[in-house]
Amino acid sequence: MTINLSNNYQALGDNFSEQTFPAPVAAPSLLLWNESLAKTLTIPFSQKDDAELITQYFSGNQLIEGSKPVAQAYSGHQFGNFNPHLGDGRAHLLGDIADTEGQRWDIQLKGSGVSSFSRQGDGRCALGPALREYVMSEAMFALGVPTTRCLAVVTTGENVYRERPFDGAVVTRVATSHIRVGTFQYFAARNDTDSLKKLTNYAINRHFPELLVEAQAAKTPNPDDKAIADDISSEQVLKFFSAVLSKQIPLVLSWLRVGFIHGVLNTDNTTISGETIDYGPCAMMNIYDSDTVFSSIDRDGRYAFGKQIGIMQWNMTRLAETLLPLVASDEDDAVAKIEPLLTQFHQDLQQGYLTMMAAKVGINTPEQGDAELLNDLLAIMQKQKLDYTHTFTALTNTLNNGQIEAPLNDVLNEWLPRWHARIEPFKAAAHTLMVSTNPVVIPRNHHVEALLASCQATGDLSGLHKFLAVLQQPYTEVTDTKHYQDAPVDGDESYHTYCGT
């Protein structure tokens, strides 16, 4: 029984990462093991039969055979300010593994000890944030949002000191890669064009093998196992950038669809694969308000719910800047070539937003007047302080039973007939579309927090498992769904999230 790890990122060279071993922990104990993810990754362990081995491997106490752990180097704009020295300060990339479809995934321990990137940090992770990452990323996955996932949570038997001592944990994060906008910024900041080229080629191999010339791809059935080319054409770089942009569109639009607020959308927390990463201060919106912010450190609302499209464009512009030297030796030439892609990205996001929101009210192909219909709805929701998830569920149900409950009937009394008239010709299709677009349950902040608190206080995970089972089917009402649909009594008015470090 083995885990078939490769070390493709490690092979890029010493300037991409630092070789460093996870720091062993005192008394590891397995809390959560993601059995279905393990299966997808062809990891042949079950919690029932292999708990001891899983615990040893995913606490960092024992090295998986073939693993060459590293801390990855990256920079990043944090709240708009560039920090050239970030990198994995508490994470170890163990290696990468191919899933049943041949897609490769990075396996990374988080909370596994310090590296040269740790700065003042202790390299550790508290149990609460580790559980939160597990719950939120599993919920997002089931919601159809592109995301990194969690394979395991192991408690360490050691305390982690934040504002007070907490139980420590190591969480195993799985991502199609951990390449961030900040990874490109790291090399750009050092004027290291050769490494930028190598990184771009690596990213193409990993994420966009379709960009490799057909003949070349045909020769290498597993593109990750081939040597990464040193050089790259300007055309290929532009194609790569375009492909990265196209990955960010479904990402940010699905956040907006389900009411997710990332909370710390720094460039080091923006993957080029378009997966949600870093579940530190994230939260779900209750009452619709585009200015919603829960993060205690986001005082200016830079990462508010409704700003996420704009921030993604800002982050992609930072990525574009790093690629300029690869596009043309003359900067103006390079800008002239890359700018149209950002303009197109802007347009695609605007169009995509309209299409996504239209789908939430059952319209498959938005037409003239639909933007106004939607804006009017959102304006009512904001003014009347309506719950985002609940309102769309209620609208969906009207197509079944013709009824809408109070007070929605009252506040939407002028809007509802307009909407019903619009979708009348295709009501059945509208209903189907709405059912698959609007979740009936999301990981509401108050439920997440209550469950994390009780797990930590009692060590009993049964409530968490019940919650996770409901979150697995967010578009279907199962028996227990009703226990998790309620909006918080105070609208989460005093709810604050923290970076979770």
Instruction: Tell me the closest approach of the beta carbon of residue 87 to Mg ion, in angstroms.
Output: 10
Strands 125-126 and 81-83: unpaired
Q: Which does 88 bind (CB under 5 to 8 A by kind): ligand AMP, Mg ion, none?
A: ligand AMP
- The residue within the footprint of Mg ion, chosen from 50, 138, 278, 492 (CB under 5 A), is 278
Question: Which one of Mg ion, ligand AMP, none is in contact with 124 (Cβ closer than 5 to 8 A by kind)?
Answer: ligand AMP
Give dist(CA 449, CA 446) in Å, integer: 5
Q: Would you count residue 83 as binding Mg ion (CB under 5 A)? A: no
State the Cα–Cα distance between residues 277 and 150, nearest whole angstrom: 11
x/- map, 338-377, ligand AMP, by CB under 6 A: ----------------------------------------
* Residue 89 touches which of Mg ion, ligand AMP, none (Cβ within 5-8 Å per kind): ligand AMP
- What residue has token string 């196209």? 246
80 part of the interface to ligand AMP, by CB under 6 A: no
Distances (CA, A) of 437 to 83, 137, 207: 38, 18, 26
Q: Which does 328 bind (CB under 5 to 8 A by kind): ligand AMP, Mg ion, none?
A: none
Question: Per-residue x/- mask for ligand AMP, residues 245 to 274, rule CB under 6 A?
Answer: -----------------------xx-----
What is the SS3 assignment for 358?
A: helix
Q: Nearer to ligand AMP by C-beta: 50 or 278?
A: 278
As a whole number of angstroms, the distance between CA 463 and CA 168 comes to: 21
**Cα three-residue angle 271-275-278, rounded to 5 degrees:** 75
**Residue 87 touches which of ligand AMP, Mg ion, none (CB < 5 to 8 A by kind)?**
ligand AMP
Tokens coding 451: 């469950």
Contact by Cβ (8 Å): 118, 451: no
Catalytic residue check, 268 = yes
Site mask for ligand AMP (CB under 6 A), range 88-107, x = bound: xxx-----------------
* Residue 47 binds which of ligand AMP, Mg ion, none (CB < 5-8 A, kind-dependent): none
Name the region of 66 (left: φ>0; alpha: ψ -120 to 50; beta: rest): left
Say how many CA atoms lie within 13 Å of 59 toward its Cβ: 24
Q: Which helix (H) or strand (E) holds 107?
A: strand 104-110
Helix (H, G, I), strand (E, B) or coil at 14: coil
Partner whose footprint covers residue 491, from Mg ion, ligand AMP, none (CB < 5 to 8 Å by kind): none
Q: Is 269 in the site for Mg ion (CB under 5 A)?
A: yes
Identify residue 157 by its one-letter amino acid code. G
Whether the CB-CB separation of 174 and 204 falls below 8 Å is answered with no
Q: What angle do CA 358, 375, 446 make, to 5 degrees?
A: 80
Question: Least distance to Mg ion from the beta carbon of 405, Å?
Answer: 41
- By Cβ distance, which residue is nearest to ligand AMP? 121
State the nearest-atom distance from the C-beta of 250 to Mg ion, in Å. Answer: 21
Q: How far apart are CA 369 and CA 352, in angstroms?
A: 16
Which of 50, 88, 224, 268 does the annotation list as catalytic? 268
On whether the CB atoms of residues 498 and 403 are closer than 8 A, the answer is no
Rg (CA), the chain: 23
Task: Give the count of residues interacting with Mg ion (CB under 5 A).
Answer: 2
Give, as ranges, the residues between 388 and 447 that touch ligand AMP (CB under 6 A): none
Nearest approach, Cβ of 356 to ligand AMP (angstroms)? 27
124 lies in the site for ligand AMP, by CB under 6 A? yes
Closest distance to ligand AMP from the beta carbon of 202 (Å) = 20
Q: Residue 278 interacts with ligand AMP (CB under 6 A)?
A: yes
- Coil, strand or helix: which one is 26? coil
Binding site for ligand AMP (CB under 6 A): 86-90, 117-118, 121-124, 268-269, 278, 280, 499, 501
Q: Which residues bind Mg ion (CB under 5 A)?
A: 269, 278
Active site residues: 268
